[in-house]
Amino acid sequence: MKRVLLLGGTGDALTIARHLGPQHVYSLAGLGRTPADLTCRVRVGGFGGVQGLAAFIEAESIGLVVDATHPYAAQMSRHASAAAVLTKIPCWALRRAPWEPQAGDDWRDAPGFASIMQTIAVFKHPLWTLGREPLDHLDAIPSWQHWTIRCLDPHDGNARATIIAARGPFSLDGERALFDQHRTDVLISKNSGGAATEAKLAVARERGVPVVMLQRPPLPPVEREFTSTVTLLNALDAFI
Ligand code: NAP
């Protein structure tokens, strides 16, 4: 019986974790909720870089690392790949397919925050759905803009920023109401892929609202890559 270390922090990872027995370990960074109803062991918090993760793998006799972190959690993915090489065990990854633009979409690629700021300069009511990063820039909001920032963290905002602490999945009607209430004229998004947060893109399409899409970070090579939890779970059954 081989022990699996599952790196999580996404809904897909939680789906996989629900299939793991007590000998396996599900690891979370500690930013969100920690599920209390899993059969597998749950550990929370960073490992202390590649060396710390490699030490954990050896101490716990882990035989396989499964990286099911978010596609933008590139540091954890790099560490997982490097620690697996160091400890000579395989590393698999669940890598959600990115969303693709459809007819009627007006998507503008942005490599980073500075580029996003340039692209949105002509708009008045940006809706940010990147996570907490825009909270660090509340003092840099141009005088003609009011930002709406949706992220996990509650925050008071300021005179030019409304913060909405919320966690997906988000419905189409809910997203329509959000765009209406905040008069959204540009949406800023990661290209997360998956269904849980996709409705905002449909609403942007309906309304002709441009989407500024933060480019995905490069991810390290792994031994096996999966795009669906079902195929990954089948491969896990065969491996364990
Ligand atoms: P990151 O930049 O890739 O990782 C930062 C550090 O957090 C890692 O070096 C590691 O610390 C620790 N860490 C990350 N995931 C961990 C895990 N599953 N178990 C134990 N330690 C972990 O990650 P991030 O972008 O801050 O995301 C943090 C977590 O939130 C991830 O687990 C990710 O799946 C989830 N998440 C991220 C996003 C996003 O947009 N980035 C969106 C939804 C969910 P050490 O170096 O000390 O080991």
Domains detected in the chain: 3-97+217-239 (3.40.50.720), 107-214 (3.40.50.720)
Mean pLDDT of all residues in 225-238 = 96
Tell me the CA–centroid distance for residue 225 and ligand 1, in Å. 19
| Identity of the residue numbered 167 | R
Asked whether residue 231 carries a pLDDT value surpassing 90, the answer given is: yes
Tell me the CA–centroid distance for residue 38 and ligand 1, in Å. 20
Per-residue buried b or exposed e for 97-128, using 16+ beta carbons within 10 Å of the residue's own CB: eebeeeeebebeebeebeebbebbeebebbbb
Tell me the CA–centroid distance for residue 72 and ligand 1, in Å. 9
Minimal-distance CA residue to ligand 1 atom 8: 76
What atom in ligand 1 is closest to the CA of residue 27? 19
Best of 7, 76, 79 to mutate for ligand 1, by most ligand atoms within 8 A of CB?
76
Question: Is 71:10 a contact under the CB 8 Å cutoff?
Answer: no
Asked whether residue 1 carries a pLDDT value surpassing 80, the answer given is: no
pLDDT at 153: 86
Mean pLDDT of all residues in 69-97 = 97
Nearest Cα neighbor of 95 from 112, 124, 125, 73 is 73
Tell me the CA–centroid distance for residue 29 and ligand 1, in Å. 5
Query: Is any atom of ligand 1 closer than 6 Å to the C-beta of 75?
Result: yes
pLDDT for 117-160, tens place per residue? 999 999 999 999 999 999 999 999 999 999 999 999 899 999 99
Mean pLDDT of the chain: 96
pLDDT at 62: 98
What number of other Cβ atoms are within 10 A of residue 237's Cβ? 9
Query: Is any atom of ligand 1 closer than 6 Å to the C-beta of 30?
Result: no
Asked whether residue 8 carries a pLDDT value surpassing 90, the answer given is: yes
Confidence of residue 32 (pLDDT cuts 50, 70, 90): confident
Per-residue buried b or exposed e for 165-190, using 16+ beta carbons within 10 Å of the residue's own CB: eeebebeeeebbebbeebebbbbbbb
Q: Above pLDDT 90, what percent of the chain?
A: 96
Query: Is any atom of ligand 1 closer than 6 Å to the C-beta of 74?
Result: yes
Measure the CA angle with vertex 65, ends 13 and 152; round to 5°.
35
Confidence of residue 34 (pLDDT cuts 50, 70, 90): confident
Asked whether residue 200 carries a pLDDT value surpassing 90, the answer given is: yes
pLDDT at 195: 92
Query: Is any atom of ligand 1 closer than 6 Å to the C-beta of 131?
Result: yes
Mean pLDDT of all residues in 8-23 = 96
Taking the complete model, does pTM exceed 0.85, yes or no?
yes
Say how far residue 146 (Cα) sits from the centre of its chain. Answer: 25
Mean pLDDT of all residues in 198-212 = 98
pLDDT for 36-46, tens place per residue? 999 999 999 99
Confidence of residue 214 (pLDDT cuts 50, 70, 90): very high
